[in-house]
Chain A
Amino acid sequence: MSREEYMRELAYLLQDIPDGEREEALSWYEDYFDEAGEGEEAEVIRKLGSPAKVAALIKDGLNGGNDEAGEYTETGYQDSRFREDNKVPEPRMEPLNEEKDTDYKYGRSGRKRKRSRGEYLLILILCIVAVPVILPLAGSVFGILAGILGVGLAVAVAVPVCVVVAVILGIVLVGVGIVEVFLSPGFGFLMLGGGCLALAAGILLILACILVFGKFLPWAFRSVAGFLGKTFQRGGYDS
Protein backbone atom coordinates (compact mmCIF):
# COMPACT_ATOMS: atom_id res chain seq x y z
CA MET A 1 0.00 0.00 0.00
CA SER A 2 1.43 3.37 -0.99
CA ARG A 3 1.11 6.53 1.03
CA GLU A 4 -1.56 7.83 -1.38
CA GLU A 5 -3.62 4.67 -1.05
CA TYR A 6 -3.24 4.74 2.69
CA MET A 7 -4.40 8.34 2.95
CA ARG A 8 -7.26 7.74 0.53
CA GLU A 9 -8.50 4.84 2.58
CA LEU A 10 -8.16 6.82 5.79
CA ALA A 11 -10.15 9.70 4.25
CA TYR A 12 -12.80 7.23 3.17
CA LEU A 13 -13.02 5.73 6.64
CA LEU A 14 -13.31 9.17 8.21
CA GLN A 15 -16.12 10.45 6.01
CA ASP A 16 -18.64 10.18 8.83
CA ILE A 17 -16.87 12.60 11.16
CA PRO A 18 -17.22 16.41 10.98
CA ASP A 19 -15.37 17.97 8.03
CA GLY A 20 -13.11 20.05 10.25
CA GLU A 21 -12.01 17.02 12.24
CA ARG A 22 -11.38 14.98 9.13
CA GLU A 23 -9.25 17.70 7.51
CA GLU A 24 -7.35 18.17 10.74
CA ALA A 25 -6.59 14.47 11.09
CA LEU A 26 -5.71 13.96 7.43
CA SER A 27 -3.38 16.94 7.37
CA TRP A 28 -1.74 15.67 10.57
CA TYR A 29 -1.02 12.31 8.97
CA GLU A 30 0.12 13.95 5.72
CA ASP A 31 2.54 15.99 7.83
CA TYR A 32 3.58 12.85 9.59
CA PHE A 33 4.53 11.18 6.31
CA ASP A 34 6.34 14.36 5.22
CA GLU A 35 8.34 14.51 8.43
CA ALA A 36 9.28 10.87 8.28
CA GLY A 37 10.84 11.42 4.88
CA GLU A 38 10.19 10.03 1.44
CA GLY A 39 12.01 6.75 1.86
CA GLU A 40 10.17 5.91 5.08
CA GLU A 41 6.64 5.53 3.75
CA ALA A 42 6.48 1.76 4.08
CA GLU A 43 7.96 1.92 7.56
CA VAL A 44 5.52 4.62 8.66
CA ILE A 45 2.59 2.62 7.31
CA ARG A 46 3.85 -0.47 9.11
CA LYS A 47 4.20 1.41 12.39
CA LEU A 48 0.88 3.23 12.15
CA GLY A 49 -1.08 0.07 11.49
CA SER A 50 -4.04 -0.26 9.16
CA PRO A 51 -6.07 2.82 8.16
CA ALA A 52 -9.02 1.16 9.87
CA LYS A 53 -7.16 1.13 13.17
CA VAL A 54 -6.04 4.74 12.77
CA ALA A 55 -9.59 5.80 11.88
CA ALA A 56 -11.06 3.92 14.82
CA LEU A 57 -8.63 5.60 17.20
CA ILE A 58 -9.40 9.04 15.77
CA LYS A 59 -13.14 8.46 16.17
CA ASP A 60 -12.65 7.16 19.67
CA GLY A 61 -10.67 10.30 20.50
CA LEU A 62 -13.48 12.47 19.14
CA ASN A 63 -15.88 10.68 21.40
CA GLY A 64 -13.91 12.00 24.34
CA GLY A 65 -11.96 8.81 24.63
CA ASN A 66 -12.97 5.96 26.83
CA ASP A 67 -10.41 5.38 29.51
CA GLU A 68 -11.82 2.02 30.47
CA ALA A 69 -12.14 0.68 26.96
CA GLY A 70 -8.51 0.50 26.02
CA GLU A 71 -5.01 0.63 27.31
CA TYR A 72 -1.70 1.68 25.89
CA THR A 73 0.32 -1.47 26.07
CA GLU A 74 3.80 -2.26 24.94
CA THR A 75 2.45 -3.41 21.63
CA GLY A 76 0.44 -0.24 21.21
CA TYR A 77 -3.01 0.89 22.08
CA GLN A 78 -5.02 -2.19 22.97
CA ASP A 79 -8.74 -2.10 22.64
CA SER A 80 -10.64 -5.24 21.88
CA ARG A 81 -13.05 -3.24 19.74
CA PHE A 82 -10.29 -2.02 17.47
CA ARG A 83 -8.10 -5.07 17.31
CA GLU A 84 -7.19 -5.72 13.75
CA ASP A 85 -8.01 -9.38 13.94
CA ASN A 86 -11.50 -8.33 15.01
CA LYS A 87 -14.02 -7.05 12.56
CA VAL A 88 -13.25 -3.44 11.74
CA PRO A 89 -16.22 -1.10 11.26
CA GLU A 90 -17.37 -0.95 7.67
CA PRO A 91 -16.71 2.38 5.95
CA ARG A 92 -20.36 3.24 5.42
CA MET A 93 -21.54 2.32 8.87
CA GLU A 94 -23.35 4.67 11.23
CA PRO A 95 -21.03 6.96 13.19
CA LEU A 96 -19.00 4.81 15.52
CA ASN A 97 -19.48 7.30 18.35
CA GLU A 98 -23.13 6.50 18.74
CA GLU A 99 -22.85 2.76 18.48
CA LYS A 100 -19.70 2.07 20.32
CA ASP A 101 -20.99 1.32 23.78
CA THR A 102 -24.05 -0.60 22.74
CA ASP A 103 -22.00 -2.68 20.32
CA TYR A 104 -19.77 -3.63 23.14
CA LYS A 105 -22.67 -4.67 25.35
CA TYR A 106 -24.32 -6.64 22.58
CA GLY A 107 -21.11 -8.50 22.12
CA ARG A 108 -20.97 -9.46 25.75
CA SER A 109 -24.57 -10.53 26.17
CA GLY A 110 -24.35 -12.38 22.87
CA ARG A 111 -21.53 -14.45 24.24
CA LYS A 112 -23.55 -15.15 27.38
CA ARG A 113 -26.59 -16.22 25.40
CA LYS A 114 -24.48 -18.57 23.33
CA ARG A 115 -23.18 -20.29 26.42
CA SER A 116 -26.65 -20.90 27.89
CA ARG A 117 -27.81 -22.23 24.53
CA GLY A 118 -24.98 -24.73 24.79
CA GLU A 119 -26.21 -25.71 28.22
CA TYR A 120 -29.72 -26.29 26.94
CA LEU A 121 -28.30 -28.46 24.19
CA LEU A 122 -26.33 -30.45 26.74
CA ILE A 123 -29.43 -31.01 28.86
CA LEU A 124 -31.37 -32.14 25.78
CA ILE A 125 -28.62 -34.60 24.85
CA LEU A 126 -28.55 -35.91 28.41
CA CYS A 127 -32.31 -36.44 28.31
CA ILE A 128 -32.05 -38.34 25.03
CA VAL A 129 -29.21 -40.47 26.35
CA ALA A 130 -31.09 -41.12 29.59
CA VAL A 131 -34.29 -42.31 27.86
CA PRO A 132 -33.13 -45.98 27.47
CA VAL A 133 -32.38 -46.05 31.19
CA ILE A 134 -35.34 -44.10 32.50
CA LEU A 135 -38.02 -45.80 30.39
CA PRO A 136 -37.39 -49.43 31.57
CA LEU A 137 -36.91 -48.18 35.10
CA ALA A 138 -40.23 -46.38 35.06
CA GLY A 139 -41.82 -49.44 33.41
CA SER A 140 -40.62 -51.86 36.06
CA VAL A 141 -41.67 -49.55 38.87
CA PHE A 142 -45.10 -49.24 37.29
CA GLY A 143 -45.29 -53.06 36.90
CA ILE A 144 -44.41 -53.69 40.54
CA LEU A 145 -46.97 -51.14 41.64
CA ALA A 146 -49.67 -52.71 39.48
CA GLY A 147 -48.82 -56.16 40.89
CA ILE A 148 -49.05 -54.95 44.46
CA LEU A 149 -52.32 -53.24 43.66
CA GLY A 150 -53.69 -56.45 42.05
CA VAL A 151 -52.75 -58.64 45.01
CA GLY A 152 -54.16 -56.07 47.38
CA LEU A 153 -57.42 -55.93 45.44
CA ALA A 154 -57.69 -59.72 45.39
CA VAL A 155 -57.08 -59.94 49.10
CA ALA A 156 -59.48 -57.07 49.72
CA VAL A 157 -62.22 -58.91 47.80
CA ALA A 158 -61.46 -62.47 49.00
CA VAL A 159 -61.13 -61.75 52.71
CA PRO A 160 -64.53 -60.07 53.22
CA VAL A 161 -66.19 -62.83 51.20
CA CYS A 162 -64.54 -65.43 53.47
CA VAL A 163 -65.57 -63.47 56.53
CA VAL A 164 -69.17 -63.23 55.39
CA VAL A 165 -69.25 -66.92 54.46
CA ALA A 166 -67.66 -67.96 57.78
CA VAL A 167 -69.96 -65.78 59.87
CA ILE A 168 -73.11 -66.87 58.04
CA LEU A 169 -72.01 -70.53 58.20
CA GLY A 170 -71.24 -70.17 61.90
CA ILE A 171 -74.59 -68.57 62.71
CA VAL A 172 -76.49 -71.14 60.67
CA LEU A 173 -74.55 -74.05 62.20
CA VAL A 174 -74.97 -72.69 65.74
CA GLY A 175 -78.71 -72.10 65.16
CA VAL A 176 -79.28 -75.55 63.60
CA GLY A 177 -77.00 -77.14 66.27
CA ILE A 178 -79.03 -75.67 69.16
CA VAL A 179 -82.17 -77.20 67.66
CA GLU A 180 -80.40 -80.50 66.87
CA VAL A 181 -78.98 -80.75 70.45
CA PHE A 182 -82.56 -81.44 71.67
CA LEU A 183 -83.34 -83.85 68.78
CA SER A 184 -80.04 -85.75 68.53
CA PRO A 185 -77.52 -84.40 71.05
CA GLY A 186 -74.38 -85.91 69.36
CA PHE A 187 -75.06 -84.45 65.94
CA GLY A 188 -76.34 -81.25 67.50
CA PHE A 189 -73.19 -80.61 69.55
CA LEU A 190 -71.05 -81.40 66.48
CA MET A 191 -72.95 -78.74 64.51
CA LEU A 192 -72.68 -76.31 67.44
CA GLY A 193 -68.94 -76.89 67.61
CA GLY A 194 -68.54 -76.46 63.84
CA GLY A 195 -70.63 -73.30 63.98
CA CYS A 196 -68.48 -71.94 66.81
CA LEU A 197 -65.30 -72.75 64.81
CA ALA A 198 -66.70 -70.97 61.74
CA LEU A 199 -67.70 -67.92 63.83
CA ALA A 200 -64.28 -67.85 65.47
CA ALA A 201 -62.62 -68.06 62.04
CA GLY A 202 -64.82 -65.20 60.78
CA ILE A 203 -64.03 -63.05 63.82
CA LEU A 204 -60.30 -63.80 63.51
CA LEU A 205 -60.44 -62.88 59.83
CA ILE A 206 -62.18 -59.60 60.71
CA LEU A 207 -59.43 -58.90 63.27
CA ALA A 208 -56.80 -59.80 60.67
CA CYS A 209 -58.51 -57.46 58.17
CA ILE A 210 -58.48 -54.64 60.68
CA LEU A 211 -54.80 -55.30 61.23
CA VAL A 212 -54.00 -55.46 57.50
CA PHE A 213 -56.16 -52.58 56.27
CA GLY A 214 -55.67 -50.39 59.30
CA LYS A 215 -51.96 -50.77 59.85
CA PHE A 216 -50.09 -52.80 57.26
CA LEU A 217 -51.57 -51.23 54.12
CA PRO A 218 -51.08 -47.60 55.17
CA TRP A 219 -47.50 -48.50 56.07
CA ALA A 220 -47.04 -50.27 52.71
CA PHE A 221 -48.49 -47.34 50.79
CA ARG A 222 -46.30 -44.94 52.69
CA SER A 223 -43.20 -47.00 51.93
CA VAL A 224 -44.12 -47.34 48.27
CA ALA A 225 -44.87 -43.64 48.01
CA GLY A 226 -41.58 -42.82 49.69
CA PHE A 227 -39.67 -45.17 47.38
CA LEU A 228 -41.38 -43.72 44.33
CA GLY A 229 -40.70 -40.19 45.46
CA LYS A 230 -37.04 -40.93 45.87
CA THR A 231 -36.84 -42.71 42.54
CA PHE A 232 -38.45 -39.90 40.60
CA GLN A 233 -36.45 -37.27 42.39
CA ARG A 234 -33.22 -39.05 41.60
CA GLY A 235 -34.33 -39.47 38.01
CA GLY A 236 -34.93 -35.74 37.88
CA TYR A 237 -31.44 -34.96 39.11
CA ASP A 238 -29.85 -37.36 36.66
CA SER A 239 -31.40 -35.63 33.71
Chain B
Amino acid sequence: MVFNTGAALLDAIVLAAVSKEEEGTYGYRITQDVRAALEVSESTLYPVLRRLQKDGCLEVYDREFGGRNRRYYRITEKGRVQLNLYMAEWQEYSTKITKIFTGGKVE
Protein backbone atom coordinates (compact mmCIF):
# COMPACT_ATOMS: atom_id res chain seq x y z
CA MET B 1 0.00 0.00 0.00
CA VAL B 2 1.27 3.45 -0.84
CA PHE B 3 -0.76 5.24 1.83
CA ASN B 4 0.65 5.70 5.28
CA THR B 5 -1.37 4.75 8.30
CA GLY B 6 -1.71 7.17 11.19
CA ALA B 7 -1.79 6.13 14.82
CA ALA B 8 -5.58 6.53 15.08
CA LEU B 9 -6.24 4.24 12.15
CA LEU B 10 -3.87 1.63 13.53
CA ASP B 11 -5.66 1.84 16.90
CA ALA B 12 -8.95 1.36 15.11
CA ILE B 13 -7.72 -1.66 13.18
CA VAL B 14 -6.27 -3.26 16.31
CA LEU B 15 -9.50 -2.68 18.23
CA ALA B 16 -11.48 -4.16 15.37
CA ALA B 17 -9.21 -7.21 15.17
CA VAL B 18 -9.55 -7.82 18.91
CA SER B 19 -13.31 -7.22 18.93
CA LYS B 20 -13.81 -10.00 16.38
CA GLU B 21 -13.16 -12.57 19.11
CA GLU B 22 -15.66 -12.67 21.95
CA GLU B 23 -13.26 -14.74 24.02
CA GLY B 24 -10.38 -12.45 23.28
CA THR B 25 -7.27 -13.06 21.26
CA TYR B 26 -3.52 -13.04 21.83
CA GLY B 27 -0.61 -10.90 20.67
CA TYR B 28 0.77 -13.06 17.93
CA ARG B 29 -2.60 -13.57 16.36
CA ILE B 30 -3.55 -9.92 16.60
CA THR B 31 -0.31 -9.09 14.87
CA GLN B 32 -1.02 -11.50 12.05
CA ASP B 33 -4.63 -10.31 11.70
CA VAL B 34 -3.62 -6.67 11.57
CA ARG B 35 -0.89 -7.47 9.09
CA ALA B 36 -3.44 -9.16 6.88
CA ALA B 37 -5.15 -5.77 6.52
CA LEU B 38 -2.18 -3.49 6.80
CA GLU B 39 1.51 -3.84 6.12
CA VAL B 40 2.89 -2.73 9.45
CA SER B 41 6.08 -3.88 11.07
CA GLU B 42 5.55 -6.63 13.63
CA SER B 43 7.32 -4.61 16.29
CA THR B 44 4.66 -1.91 16.02
CA LEU B 45 1.89 -3.91 17.65
CA TYR B 46 3.12 -4.36 21.21
CA PRO B 47 3.28 -0.62 22.02
CA VAL B 48 -0.17 -0.11 20.51
CA LEU B 49 -1.70 -2.98 22.50
CA ARG B 50 -0.01 -1.79 25.66
CA ARG B 51 -1.32 1.73 25.21
CA LEU B 52 -4.85 0.58 24.43
CA GLN B 53 -4.70 -1.60 27.52
CA LYS B 54 -3.58 1.32 29.67
CA ASP B 55 -6.28 3.53 28.19
CA GLY B 56 -8.85 0.95 29.25
CA CYS B 57 -9.88 0.06 25.72
CA LEU B 58 -8.49 -3.47 26.08
CA GLU B 59 -8.29 -5.78 29.06
CA VAL B 60 -5.95 -8.71 29.46
CA TYR B 61 -6.25 -12.06 31.13
CA ASP B 62 -4.03 -15.08 31.20
CA ARG B 63 -5.18 -18.53 30.25
CA GLU B 64 -3.21 -21.70 30.13
CA PHE B 65 -2.46 -22.96 26.73
CA GLY B 66 -0.11 -25.85 25.86
CA GLY B 67 1.51 -25.88 29.27
CA ARG B 68 2.15 -22.16 29.56
CA ASN B 69 0.28 -18.97 30.11
CA ARG B 70 -1.02 -17.16 27.11
CA ARG B 71 -2.03 -13.53 27.49
CA TYR B 72 -5.37 -12.76 25.94
CA TYR B 73 -6.69 -9.34 24.96
CA ARG B 74 -10.37 -8.57 25.06
CA ILE B 75 -12.12 -5.37 24.08
CA THR B 76 -13.77 -3.42 26.91
CA GLU B 77 -16.92 -1.38 26.81
CA LYS B 78 -14.83 1.75 26.51
CA GLY B 79 -12.90 0.15 23.68
CA ARG B 80 -16.12 -0.65 21.87
CA VAL B 81 -17.28 2.96 22.15
CA GLN B 82 -13.92 4.09 20.84
CA LEU B 83 -14.07 1.60 17.98
CA ASN B 84 -17.57 2.78 17.01
CA LEU B 85 -16.31 6.34 16.96
CA TYR B 86 -13.41 5.33 14.75
CA MET B 87 -15.66 3.40 12.40
CA ALA B 88 -18.08 6.32 12.06
CA GLU B 89 -15.17 8.66 11.32
CA TRP B 90 -13.76 6.19 8.83
CA GLN B 91 -17.12 5.88 7.12
CA GLU B 92 -17.31 9.63 6.62
CA TYR B 93 -13.70 9.91 5.56
CA SER B 94 -13.73 7.06 3.09
CA THR B 95 -17.07 8.11 1.61
CA LYS B 96 -15.77 11.59 0.87
CA ILE B 97 -12.60 10.27 -0.68
CA THR B 98 -14.47 7.71 -2.75
CA LYS B 99 -16.77 10.45 -3.98
CA ILE B 100 -13.95 12.64 -5.09
CA PHE B 101 -12.22 9.67 -6.74
CA THR B 102 -15.30 8.66 -8.64
CA GLY B 103 -16.17 12.19 -9.78
CA GLY B 104 -19.04 12.86 -7.40
CA LYS B 105 -19.42 16.03 -5.41
CA VAL B 106 -18.51 16.36 -1.77
CA GLU B 107 -21.25 18.10 0.19
**Residues of A bordering B, CB below 8 Å:** 24-25, 27-29, 31-32, 34-36, 44, 47-49, 53-54, 57-58, 60-62, 64-65, 67, 71-78
Contact = CB atoms under 8 A, between A and B. Distances in A.
Contacts of B2: 74
Given A25-B50, A29-B46, A35-B29, A77 B40 contact: yes
A191 B41 CA distance: 120
Contacts of B9: 72
Interface of B: 1-2, 4-10, 26-29, 31, 38-44, 46-51, 68, 70-71
A27 to B, nearest CB: 7
A31 B71 contact: yes
Contacts of A67: 6-8
B6 A61 contact: no
Contact of B47 (A35, A44, A57): A57
A98 to B, nearest CB: 18
Contacts of A71: 4-6
Nearest to B7: A67
Given A57-B43, A60-B47, A31 B26 contact: yes
A228 B8 CA distance: 67
Given A32-B28, A77-B40, A77-B41, A58 B47 contact: yes
A44 B43 CA distance: 10
A73 B27 contact: no
Nearest to B60: A24
